[in-house]
Structure 1
């Protein structure tokens, strides 16, 4: 039950925050998302080429510097 209450509270705060973004901020977010998507696509192609995952991760980190949080360009998945 606590999880549901926390989730609903978090969602209400996040939706409220969206309404406060200016058009320029939204356009900047869109550009960042597209740049992150391009970096992830390049990482996928890097892996497809047969390069080692560590090398592809380094390239992803370089491409995403300043775009997203964390060393996985704002996205980490399970292995």
Structure 2
């Protein structure tokens, strides 16, 4: 349980981290829309990493899926947090 809270804390920190300004090879800055998209992708990645750690800890797939859904609420479309894969 302690690992779950640590993973959720890490995911929260990832959400709170400011997105550094990126620029392409031509030197133009990235639009605000793209910056927000980058932030969402990083947040989803952190949520998926926490879900992977949850499964590694031996918790049930159902528990870990519920944790993933809670962490991804408002980030992605659907209940799979932007990802689907085979089982």
TM-score w.r.t. the length of structure 2 is 0.65
Moved over 3 A (4+): none
**Structure possessing the higher relative contact order (Cα contacts under 8 Å, 6 or more residues apart):** 2
Consecutive unaligned residues in structure 2, runs of 5 or more: 1-29
Q: Paired residue for 2:31, among 23, 41, 60?
A: 23
TM-score w.r.t. the length of structure 1 is 0.72
Q: Which whole-Å CA distance do the structure 1 matches of 2:84 and 2:51 have between them?
A: 13
Equivalent residue number for residue 46 of structure 2: 38
Q: How many residues align?
A: 58
Bigger fraction of residues in helix: 1
Consecutive unaligned residues in structure 1, runs of 5 or more: 1-21
Equivalent residue number for residue 82 of structure 2: 74
Q: Which whole-Å CA distance do the structure 2 matches of 1:50 and 1:70 have between them?
A: 25
**Which one has a bigger Cα radius of gyration?**
1
